[in-house]
């Protein structure tokens, strides 16, 4: 009797037709892999190089299967020398190829920052527009888990500071695929700041996202959740923190509008301004450090625009703590913005006790 009941229940679950179960799921890792595969298939000038990207299928398996499909000339394992292989990639881009240069983590891109900034970002300007550098620098950025101070920095503010670069910071699978494809097709250097913590996370995607022609525009944010009381602006994994906070706030009658920036340079100020003019309140959320951060830039843009006069309270920043990332698990959590931090910030801005 009990067995028959269990089988019936299992059968019902197996044939569930709910939206959540029926939605197509795609991990961020597979979204990035599909973007690379589709663009390499579309354009033979596109190639991938970096540490362990070929025979090992990538340190995070983002390039899985590409070496076997495209061979040694288009998926290239490099020595552990970021300055060297970033320089090779920039030179190849100047010569007309479209390299995708993977850093195992963007913390290591500091070894190659002269190539990224002085060679890639400035050449189009210094050549009076005669030399394009169509290169993509991509890899995991920001805090991972248990990798301490030297492997946990967010480079969003670092690279978005520099003219000549475009900088995107995808959150979910739709962002990852659409923005990486746009970056590869772009005529200028694009920095793609991924997040290791979401590589294995599945997100629902539409048929449009799975299409080979799906590309997202660089410089356009996405409203993840509409609201009327306060605007939450975030990028990368902080979008998740903002969404969870918005869900908690909704239970208290506070409707927060959540904006996923997607692009850090150019910054979609128009979407931010329109939202703030509607909600009259703003909280920014990011994992990076507070000084000269993305939130700081958004605050300045608001101050310099008529949107400032629509604010009913000061803008509040929720950021990572102003310290090198601790190794201890509890301290690591304390150093990163959490949902309660966002909820507290919203309550302070709205004057809710």
Indicate which residues carry an active-site annotation. 82, 151
**300 touches 267 (CB < 8 A):** no
Query: Using H for helix, E for strand and C for coil, what is the string for the chain?
Result: CHHHHHHHHHHHHHCCCCHHHHCEEEEHHHHHHHHHHHHHHHCCCEEEEECCCCCCCCCCCCCCCHHHHHCCCCEEECCCCHHHHHHHHHHHHHCCCEEEEECCCHHHHHHHHHHHHHHHHCHHHHCCCCCCCCCEEEEECCCCCCCCHHHCCCCHHHHHCCCCCEEECCCCHHHHHHHHHHHHHCCCCEEEEECHHHCCCEEEECHHHHCCCCCCCCCCCEEEECCCCEEEEECCCHHHHHHHHHHHHHCCCCCEEEEECCEEECCCHHHHHHHHHHHCCEEEECCCCCCCCHHHHHHHHHHCCHHHHHCCCCCEEECCCCCCCCCCHHHHHHHCCCHHHHHHHHHHHHCCC
**220 touches 263 (CB < 8 A):** yes
Q: Look at residues 300, 336, 292 and name the one whose alpha carbon lies nearest to residue 318.
A: 336
Crossing angle of helices 294-303 and 269-279, rounded to 10°: 70
């Amino acid at each position: 009797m009990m067995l028959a009941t269990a089988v019936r229940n299992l059968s019902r679950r197996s044939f569930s037709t709910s939206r959540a179960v029926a939605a197509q799921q795609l991990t961020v890792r597979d979204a990035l892999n599909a973007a690379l595969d589709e663009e390499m298939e579309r354009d033979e000038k596109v190639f991938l190089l970096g540490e362990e990207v070929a025979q090992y299928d990538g340190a995070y398996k983002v390039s899985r299967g590409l070496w076997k499909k495209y061979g040694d000339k288009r998926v290239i394992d490099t020595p552990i020398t970021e300055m060297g292989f970033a320089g090779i990639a920039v030179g190849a881009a100047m010569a007309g190829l479209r390299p995708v240069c993977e850093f195992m983590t963007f913390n290591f891109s500091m070894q190659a920052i002269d190539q990224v900034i002085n060679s890639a970002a400035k050449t189009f300007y210094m050549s009076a527009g005669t030399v394009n550098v169509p290169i993509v620098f991509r890899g995991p950025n920001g805090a991972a888990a248990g990798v301490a101070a030297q492997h946990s920095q967010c480079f969003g503010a670092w690279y978005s500071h520099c003219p000549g670069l475009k900088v995107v910071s995808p959150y979910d699978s739709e962002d990852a695929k659409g923005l990486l494809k746009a970056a590869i097709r772009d005529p200028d250097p694009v920095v793609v700041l991924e997040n290791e913590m979401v590589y294995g996370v599945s997100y629902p995607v539409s048929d449009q996202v799975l299409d080979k022609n799906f590309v997202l525009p660089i410089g356009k944010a996405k409203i993840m959740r509409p609201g009327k009381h306060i605007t939450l602006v975030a990028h990368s994994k902080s979008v998740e923190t903002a969404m969870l906070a918005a869900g908690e706030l909704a239970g208290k009658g506070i409707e927060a509008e959540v904006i996923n920036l997607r692009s850090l340079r150019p910054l979609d100020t128009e979407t931010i301004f329109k939202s703030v003019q509607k909600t009259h309140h703003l909280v920014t959320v990011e994992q990076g450090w507070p000084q000269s951060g993305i939130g700081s830039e958004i605050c300045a843009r608001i101050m310099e625009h008529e949107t400032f006069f629509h604010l009913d309270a000061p803008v509040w920043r929720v950021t990572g703590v102003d310290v090198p990332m601790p190794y201890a698990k509890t301290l690591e959590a304390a150093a990163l913005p959490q949902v309660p931090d966002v909820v507290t910030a919203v309550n302070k801005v709205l004057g809710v006790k």
